[in-house]
Amino acid sequence: MLAGEPHIDLADWRRHCITAGGLSRRSRRFRWFWRVVRSYSQQERQQLLQFVTGSRQPPVGGFAQLQGFNGGVHKFTLCAASHEPKDSLPRVHACICTLDLPEYSSCGAMRRALHIALSMGAVGFDDAAVAGDDEAPSGDESAGTPPPD
């Protein structure tokens, strides 16, 4: 119970979603986003939720109780990212549960961009740091000797 609801209720998620940046619930981006999410498995929905909010599960009480990192209630927000290039990857602000969606040329283009973002978001900073630890520095930086060219 402390970890949240075990199942993502898609109707509850959509009902408690708000829009920003000029995006409306009637906009093509909004409709396409929810079409893509409806096609996702439960695991993919959890991955998306974690990508945008930092948590794989909705809070107890559903999406009406979604909290940002500061502990305050922050509704799941879809924001138009009109300043971004068309068909580019979405951007998240997990501290305020917001997904910035650029314009997409098609629902398929949005699906691909979300898939790439979720795939890349699955690799944490710790994973990258550990991968970088395997590489030994070239040259003796501790003695001030630059690495060989």
Domain encompassing residue 53: 10-122
Does a structural domain hold residue 29? yes
Q: Is 95 a catalytic residue?
A: yes
d(CA 43, CA 26): 27
Does a structural domain hold residue 128? no
In percent, the amount of the chain with pLDDT more than 70 equals 77
Does a structural domain hold residue 47? yes
Per-residue pLDDT, 22: 95
Binning pLDDT at 50, 70 and 90, where does residue 120 land?
confident
> What end-to-end distance do the CA atoms of the chain give, in Å?
57
Residue 10: C-alpha distances to residues 22, 57, 63 (Å): 23, 12, 10
Strand, coil or helix: 145: coil
Per-residue pLDDT, 4: 57
DSSP per residue over 82-110, as a string? TTSPTTPPPEEEGGGTEEEE---SSHHHH
DSSP H/E element including 66: none
d(CA 76, CA 65): 10
Per-residue pLDDT, 17: 97
Give the active site residue among 17, 79, 95, 97: 95
What CATH number is given to the structural domain containing 40?
3.30.2410.10
Does a structural domain hold residue 51? yes
* Mean pLDDT for the stretch of residues 119-146: 47
DSSP H/E element including 139: none
Backbone angles phi, psi at 93, to 5 degrees: -130, 85
Does a structural domain hold residue 53? yes
Residues 6+ apart with CB under 8 A from 90: 81, 99, 100, 101, 102, 113, 114, 117
Does a structural domain hold residue 79? yes
Does a structural domain hold residue 127? no
Does a structural domain hold residue 55? yes
Average pLDDT, the chain: 82
Number of domains in the chain: 1
pTM above 0.85, yes or no: no
Q: Which residue has the tokens 């961009």?
A: 113
